[in-house]
């Protein structure tokens, strides 16, 4: 081989190597960001997750991928791939699934589970492997303790004290206006969510001058709630308050209608804001109070509800659905800003301000402090009627029978 031929061979080899490197780089840039999701598809909380949790993951992933993926800081776009597991509403299964995603699937990120108890169960695993855990369905007063223990956990939906204070405030206002008496029947589902809310509510209601004349808990998954409702009715309350999860929210409402528990203030918690609640009980829910609420009249919220229906075929609820979607917006914006390094993403979430469907979000001590606390069905829409600092609340109305 002469010098000219040898030189050509060297140039060709270098060129081929460069092309191969470019091809590898392009392939790498096109690799999807793998995101794990663990939540109930079976078990007592499956119906709630089917409304609030899974459809919003579907919507967000569709929107991200439809635009070519998340726009990374180097200008490339990376689509998202969702790896799903059913935890069967079992904390042990939640823990195992999160562990599997971290150690076997080796996903880039893991979405927070559904519900207070399942999030608290999985928090040590998220922290162990450095995954940001942006909760959207956890309500607790232990945020200061938990964020200190788990530096990658974030809370967005509120606290038990805030919810209980708002419910008490509404009942006191109705009492002072002469619309109801001060006797309250209170029941709760016996898991982390219901137990903590009931514990918070007891002293808050007492200090507000409300008398709890019936106080009863029931296990998660209880099928027959008629004894609970009969007991509440026998106490002759002026208001009924249930710190309930989706199955019991529907069950308690149905039994209240059957037993004639007809208080002018009737409150059930999770799932009261579901469109299917209105679909099942019709106009009789007018005036029913529940956890959360939204201001559905903002342009961002209108666009969100329209997109949710178009992409998923389902109606989003009027509380935690947009909050869940907002947590996905936070994760996406953080990844676009700093890449897929989980510590960098966690630090960015702690310090940045995010544009979300709920309005601007900035975490303070890993928590959002402006949130809806109570909503109410009014003429076919579940409006926010109390919050910790959000605008657009509607005046509360009294319930006028089933």
Which pLDDT tens digit goes with each residue over 309-332?
999 999 999 999 999 999 999 999
DSSP state of 137: S
For helices 192-207 and 160-176, angle between their N-to-C axes, nearest 10 degrees: 40
CA distances to 30, 154, 174, 350 from 138, rounded to whole Å, are 34, 10, 29, 18
371 close to 154: Cβ distance less than 8 angstroms:
no
| Residues ≥6 apart with Cβ < 8 Å to 320 | 52, 136, 137, 157, 270, 273, 292
Per-residue pLDDT band at 208 (split at 50, 70, 90):
very high
Give the pLDDT of residue 27.
Answer: 40
DSSP E strands in 208-312: the ranges are 211-218, 239-243, 265-268, 289-291
143-161: average pLDDT: 97
**Among residues 139, 170, 149, 137, which one has the least CA distance to residue 325?**
137
State in Å, rounded, how far the first CA of the chain is from the last one.
97
pLDDT in tens, 253-266: 999 999 999 999 99
For the question of whether the overall pTM of this predicted structure is more than 0.75, the answer is yes
Least confident of 10-19, 23-32, 137-146, 376-385: 10-19
392 close to 358: Cβ distance less than 8 angstroms:
no
pLDDT in tens, 47-65: 999 999 999 999 999 999 9
């Amino acid at each position: 081989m002469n010098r000219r031929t040898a030189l050509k061979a060297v140039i060709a080899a270098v060129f081929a190597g460069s092309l191969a490197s470019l091809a590898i780089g392009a392939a790498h840039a096109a690799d999807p960001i793998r995101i794990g999701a663990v939540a109930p598809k079976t078990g007592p909380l499956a119906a709630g997750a089917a409304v609030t949790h899974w459809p919003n993951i579907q919507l967000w992933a569709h929107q991200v991928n439809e635009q070519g993926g998340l726009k990374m800081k180097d200008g490339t776009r990376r689509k998202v791939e969702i790896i799903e597991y059913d935890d069967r509403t079992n904390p042990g299964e939640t823990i195992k699934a999160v562990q599997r995603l971290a150690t076997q699937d080796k996903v880039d990120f893991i979405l927070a589970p559904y519900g207070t108890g399942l999030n608290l169960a999985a928090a040590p695993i998220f922290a162990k492997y450095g995954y940001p855990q942006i909760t959207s369905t956890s309500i607790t007063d232990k945020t200061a303790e938990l964020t200190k223990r788990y530096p990658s956990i974030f809370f967005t939906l509120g606290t038990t004290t805030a919810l209980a204070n708002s419910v008490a405030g509404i009942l006191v206002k109705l009492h002072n206006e002469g619309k109801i008496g001060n006797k309250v029947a209170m029941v709760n589902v016996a898991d982390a969510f219901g137990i903590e809310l009931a514990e918070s509510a007891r002293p808050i209601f007492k200090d507000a001058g409300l008398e709890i004349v019936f106080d009863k808990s029931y296990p998660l998954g209880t099928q027959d709630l008629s004894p609970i409702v009969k007991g509440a009715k026998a106490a002759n309350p002026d208001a009924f308050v249930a710190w309930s999860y989706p199955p019991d929210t529907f069950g308690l409402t149905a039994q209240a209608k059957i037993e004639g528990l007809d208080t002018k203030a009737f409150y059930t918690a999770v799932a009261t804001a579901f469109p299917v609640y209105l679909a099942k009980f019709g106009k009789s829910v007018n005036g029913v109070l529940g956890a959360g609420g939204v201001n559905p009249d903002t342009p961002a919220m209108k666009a969100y509800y329209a997109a949710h229906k178009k992409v998923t075929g389902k109606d989003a609820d009027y509380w935690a659905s947009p909050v869940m979607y907002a947590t996905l917006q936070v994760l996406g914006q953080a990844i676009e800003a700093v890449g897929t390094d989980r510590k960098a993403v966690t630090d960015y979430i702690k310090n940045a301000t995010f544009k979300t469907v709920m309005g601007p979000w900035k975490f303070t001590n890993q928590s959002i402090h402006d949130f809806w606390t109570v909503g109410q069905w009014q003429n076919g829409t579940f409006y926010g009627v109390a919050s910790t600092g959000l605008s657009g609340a509607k005046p509360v109305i009294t319930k006028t029978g089933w």
